[in-house]
Structure 1
Amino acid sequence: MKPLSAHTLPVRTLCATLLCLLCATAHAAVYWTPERLPMVHLQDASRYAVNPDGVLAAATVDSLDRELARLEKETGVQTVVIAVRHIEGDDPYTFGQAVADRYGIGHKGRDDGLLVLLCTDDRSYSILTGDGLEGVLPDAVCYRIEQQVMVPLLKRGEWDQALLATVDKLDRCIRQDPEMSAYTEEGEADGWVGLLVAGVLTLVVLPMAVVLGRRKCPACGKRKLEAVQEQHVVVQGQRKVRTVYRCTHCGHISHHDRNDIIQPGGGMFWGGPAGGGFRGGGPMHGSFGGGHFGGGGASGRF
């Protein structure tokens, strides 16, 4: 066997070093931003699950897409499920809000958007609701679904099952399935833990949310709008809940309408989704309808 020359060793060492660097670059963590996140629904109206890091199995993505397509067709609710390893800033609530604001998930006037976010390596999650969903998915219901369904599975590293089970529960709550009363009705199961959480929310989170969650005044641009009245009105034949705001800085009066989801008889008030969904001849580009998210939902870590 021919001995290695003095020139061969440095070359081989350099090649090995370059190979290691290439491998490290190929596996470098991607920290997603709302701007870089591939919103698959815009390319294909039948897709709702965003899975750029391959966190979820292909079969799971297909199941989510089918269930969420049915949900939109039958109730009008537009949903986006996002599963990634990392997000820039490591704040699931802020990231989810930014995605919802950027794309306008849901329909304008109905504000029936829903966003579910999982960041596996950041070990964080978030469920965010548009203004029009807060009647059937208030913050407390989102929190219970997370704690009783989502988090136990996430702690075991069962990403696919966690999102499938969570979306199933959200779907059934939106449809007002009577079997969901364990999540939609507050009971003894919440116990002292619920009281503790409520105390923290009251003393710490809510004062911050009051400031950060306020709408901007269209007249002066200050985030000083305060809700002063809520009314039930009819706009173009549809029942709405109208919230009247007054700017504490300049006094400007404005209002925001959202769907009155529950009719007096108790039924759902949504129509079908605006625009078509599936047509022959290949995938049809999807769109979002300009829905608004006002800060509803719940976020956390596991």
Structure 2
Amino acid sequence: MMKKVIFLLGTFSFLASAPVGAVEFPELAEDIYIQDIADVLTPAEEEELRRLGTELEDATTAQLAVMAVPSLEGKPIADYALEALRHYGIGTKEENNGALMVISTGDREIYISTGYGLEAVLPDGEVGRILDGYAIPYLKQDEYGKGIMNTYKALYKEIAAAYDWNNTSLAAQPAVQQSSVPDEKDDWLIPRGIIVVGIVIWIVISLFGDGAGRGNSKNSGRRSSSSSRRSSSGSSRSSGGGSRSSRGGSGGGGGAGRKF
């Protein structure tokens, strides 16, 4: 009797822990690069994604794919993306250098899953930065085409750079603009102008000014020097190629996602 109870408890525990509702991924319609099940991309956008995907794979052997779905079917998006990455065998078997962008319009989530071969190229922090700058501002406005295309191009450029392949034709623009960094030449023009003006004033005062004027000039210089030191102190505180037939990557190296 006790053995039967133990057997039934064990069977129940096994069934309870077994995965339920496994996702059935659709077969590839044309190629590995785009699965627009949610129908959010225009034919022109799909064509460009296929062109870019083929171009990137031919040059680097890495595969970058997009999957847009209406629902995750109750599955966490990180698990969904990883299962899809493995199901479609994105990336080569030898290098496992595939990446998959999954967008769920119904769940309003996006996730990028990467194979082990791209883990150093697209670390989680960098993927999150790309999503924040290139995807989320567009996806929040339901501009799926712009969000997907810009994000794809940003990922494309990171992968291409890691393989020392430069394609200058891409122009992915982040929706969230970073603060501009002033040009070093422009930085130098301002203090150089101040120095020139200061020298001219000093010469004029030296030639035509009296002692009081020279004294005022010295005091002014000291004040200017003190102000310059304070400004400097404040500044320092504020700065603080393979064949497409060889695909078959199976492991996931990491990834990052966002809600929108």
TM-score range, shorter chain: 0.5 to 0.7
Query: Take 1:98 and 1:146, find their aligned partners in 2: how far apart are those partners?
Result: 21
Equivalent position of 1:232 in the other structure: none
1:64 aligns with 2:63: no
Structure 2 gap ranges (5+): 1-20, 169-177, 180-240
1:53 positional shift: 2.9
Q: Deviations over 1:13-57 (max 9, x none)?
A: xxxxxxxxxxxxxxxxxxx974232323xxx34x61101231211
1:300 aligns with 2:225: no
Query: Take 1:160 and 1:76, find their aligned partners in 2: how far apart are those partners?
Result: 25
1:113 positional shift: 0.6
1:93 aligns with 2:72: no
**Match runs of 1:1-302 below 5 Å:** 34-40=23-29, 44-45=30-31, 48-176=33-161, 272-275=241-244, 287=245, 289-302=247-260
1:33 to 1:58, Cα distance in 2 relative to 1, 3 A: farther
Equivalent AA in structure 1 for residue 78 of structure 2: Y
Equivalent AA in structure 1 for residue 158 of structure 2: C
Q: Deviations over 1:161-200 (max 9, x none)?
A: 0000001000111122699xxxxxxxx98xxxxxxxxxxx
Query: Take 2:39 and 2:256, find their aligned partners in 1: how far apart are those partners?
Result: 25
1:33 to 1:164, Cα distance in 2 relative to 1, 3 A: farther
Query: Take 1:294 and 1:114, find their aligned partners in 2: how far apart are those partners?
Result: 9
Query: Take 1:150 and 1:139, find their aligned partners in 2: how far apart are those partners?
Result: 15
SS at structure 2 position matched to 1:89: coil
The alignment of Structure 1 onto Structure 2 pairs a total of residues equal to 167
1:69 positional shift: 0.9
1:288 positional shift: 5.9
Contact 1:131 1:292 in 2 (8 A): no
Q: Which moved more, 1:88-97 or 1:138-147?
A: 88-97
Contact 2:139 2:147 in 1 (8 A): yes
Q: Deviations over 1:149-168 (max 9, x none)?
A: 11111111110000000010
Structure whose CA Rg is larger: 2
Structure 1 gap ranges (5+): 1-31, 180-187, 190-271, 276-286
SS at structure 1 position matched to 2:67: strand
SS at structure 2 position matched to 1:83: strand
TM-score, length-scaled by structure 1: 0.51
Query: Take 1:80 and 1:288, find their aligned partners in 2: how far apart are those partners?
Result: 15
Query: Take 1:300 and 1:151, find their aligned partners in 2: how far apart are those partners?
Result: 8
Query: Take 1:39 and 1:92, find their aligned partners in 2: how far apart are those partners?
Result: 20
SS at structure 2 position matched to 1:82: strand
Contact 2:37 2:70 in 1 (8 A): no
1:90 positional shift: 4.1
SS at structure 1 position matched to 2:258: strand
Query: Take 1:34 and 1:103, find their aligned partners in 2: how far apart are those partners?
Result: 13
Contact 1:129 1:297 in 2 (8 A): yes
State the Cα RMSD in Å.
2.6
Equivalent AA in structure 2 for residue 104 of structure 1: G
Contact 2:68 2:103 in 1 (8 A): yes
